[in-house]
């Protein structure tokens, strides 16, 4: 007897059903109205059919300890005031700083927005590179501030000397310097010596935002966190997130670390709040270095295996220190992305001006196999298929 329910048949039925309802088959509402599968068959969630290699997430999600801690916190769901695992204090302790040096937000994305509003609110300019994570630039555009986005060097590193010169030239107007380290989408680190050079050579009253979302994955000994510069009393804001190594992207927890005056300036603009479950989940994450190590090692192993496979076929891959990498497609990455999408594999969006590079996040072992299988179909002859070697 056939025990597995036929997915094709089921999806067909679902598509027909949502068609009858007049819904787009891919809409969230359509997904909610899928017919119930027959008894004994696991419910089908079309969301799970896609290999998600587009957003630099952790495919394993929170650890068992984090889950247990969050489950125990449900009993606070109906309260405003409750014990919260001392998450704020624990973050401060983790960095050897005081609670006044920490702003905790619903994701580091919120910290970036709050920083943008606080430091660019008088139509100042933000200086940084392109491509990079664009959240701060988008805030700047939204509040009529300006973005000075400088190109990367040919080796995809950030040209720190150029950022220094541009900042000095625009001194009166610059409200913030933004450095993502390691950078997204390239995965390339800025060595600590360059960060120090930047801080030593721009006027010391200009705040520098260093976005360390991928800090936990870095192995390059030239890299080091910029938190120490806050301890030195510099005008530095470091942002961190629980979305990546701790697998909490959908739960929303991130924070900023900075001198107290900068935190005070930002606090006024924070709007999101971190819920009880997430607070307990975050506290458990900080107390579970074993999980962090497991995710780091597994991610790096899968990344290096995939990168080696691509390089063995002649493709250029930018050396990455993160949970994603960029590969040179030699043709518009948008075409390659569409080919992958047809195979139920989601890969990174376009990152102008690097339009012939594809950003690929590290997923599960099975997802990486699906990625390589898709790649081998899309590029059957290795790099020569693109006409460039």
Shortest gap between Cβ of 312 and ligand PLP (angstroms)? 28
Residue 274: φ, ψ to 5°:
-95, 125
User: Is the link from the previous residue into 276 a cis peptide, with omega within 30 of 0?
Assistant: no
DSSP β-bridge partners for residue 317: 327
Residues 6 or more apart whose Cβ sits within 8 Å of residue 73: 85, 276, 277, 279, 280, 281
The position carrying tokens 């900080």 is: 286
Figure out which of the listed residues 14, 30, 92, 133 binds ligand PLP, where binding follows CB under 6 A: 133
Stretch that binds ligand PLP, among 1-9, 46-54, 102-110, 289-297 (CB under 6 A): 102-110
Shortest gap between Cβ of 53 and ligand PLP (angstroms)? 13
The answer to whether 62 and 285 are in contact (CB under 8 A) is yes
For ligand PLP, the closer CB: 131 or 330: 131
DSSP per position, 8-32 = HHHHHHHHHHHHHHT--TTSHHHHH
Site string for ligand PLP, 235-274 (x = CB under 6 A): ------x-x-----x----x--------------------
E strands within 212-263? 236-241, 254-257
Shortest gap between Cβ of 215 and ligand PLP (angstroms)? 10
Stretch that binds ligand PLP, among 101-109, 258-266, 271-279, 380-388 (CB under 6 A): 101-109
For ligand PLP, the closer CB: 184 or 299: 184
Shortest gap between Cβ of 156 and ligand PLP (angstroms)? 15
Site string for ligand PLP, 167-196 (x = CB under 6 A): -------------x---x------------
Residues 6 or more apart whose Cβ sits within 8 Å of residue 355: 332, 333, 334
Can you tell me the distance from the alpha carbon of 299 to that of 28, in angstroms, rounded to the nearest whole number? 30
> How many other CB atoms are found less than 10 A from the CB of residue 49?
10
Figure out which of the listed residues 59, 62, 85, 109 binds ligand PLP, where binding follows CB under 6 A: 109
Q: Is 107 in the site for ligand PLP (CB under 6 A)?
A: yes
Q: Which of residues 23-62 bind ligand PLP (CB under 6 A)?
A: 56
Can you tell me the distance from the alpha carbon of 94 to that of 106, in angstroms, rounded to the nearest whole number? 19
Stretch that binds ligand PLP, among 70-78, 105-113, 289-297, 353-361 (CB under 6 A): 105-113
For ligand PLP, the closer CB: 85 or 128: 128
> What is the binding site for ligand PLP (CB under 6 A)?
56, 107-109, 133, 180, 184, 211, 213, 241, 243, 249, 254
């Amino acid at each position: 007897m056939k025990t597995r329910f036929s997915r094709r048949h089921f999806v067909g039925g679902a598509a027909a059903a949502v068609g009858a309802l007049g819904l787009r088959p891919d809409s969230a509402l359509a997904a909610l109205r899928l017919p119930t599968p027959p008894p004994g068959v696991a419910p089908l969630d079309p969301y799970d059919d896609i290999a998600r290699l587009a957003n630099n997430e952790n495919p394993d999600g929170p650890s068992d300890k984090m889950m247990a801690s969050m489950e125990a916190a449900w009993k606070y769901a109906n309260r405003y005031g409750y014990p919260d695992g001392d998450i704020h204090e624990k973050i401060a302790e983790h960095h050897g700083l005081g609670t006044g040096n920490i702003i905790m937000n619903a994701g580091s994305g919120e910290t970036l927005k709050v920083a943008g509003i606080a430091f660019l609110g008088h139509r100042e300019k933000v200086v940084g590179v392109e491509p990079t994570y664009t959240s701060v630039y988008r805030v700047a555009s939204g509040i009529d501030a300006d973005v000075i986005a400088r190109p990367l060097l040919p080796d995809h590193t950030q040209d720190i000397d150029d950022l220094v010169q541009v900042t000095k030239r625009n001194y009166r107007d610059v409200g913030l310097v933004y450095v993502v380290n390691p950078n997204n989408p390239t995965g390339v680190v800025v060595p600590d010596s360059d960060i120090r050079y930047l801080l030593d050579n721009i006027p010391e009253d200009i705040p520098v935002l260093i976005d360390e979302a991928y800090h936990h994955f870095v192995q390059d000994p030239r890299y080091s966190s910029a938190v120490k510069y806050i301890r030195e009393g510099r005008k530095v804001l470091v942002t961190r997130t629980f979305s990546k190594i701790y697998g909490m992207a959908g739960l929303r927890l991130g924070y900023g670390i900075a001198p107290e005056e900068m935190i005070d300036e930002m606090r006024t603009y924070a709007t999101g709040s971190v819920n009880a479950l997430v607070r307990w989940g975050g506290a458990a994450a900080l107390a579970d270095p074993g999980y962090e190590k497991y995710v780091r090692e597994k991610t790096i192993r899968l990344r290096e295996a995939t990168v080696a496979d691509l390089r063995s076929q002649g493709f250029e891959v930018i050396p990455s220190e993160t949970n994603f990498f960029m590969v040179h497609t030699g043709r518009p990455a948008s075409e390659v992305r569409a080919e992958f999408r047809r195979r139920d594999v989601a890969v990174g969006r376009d990152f102008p001006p690097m339009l012939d590079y594809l950003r690929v996040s590290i997923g599960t072992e099975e997802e990486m196999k699906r990625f390589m299988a898709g790649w081998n179909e899309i590029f059957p002859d290795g790099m020569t298929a693109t006409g460039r070697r």
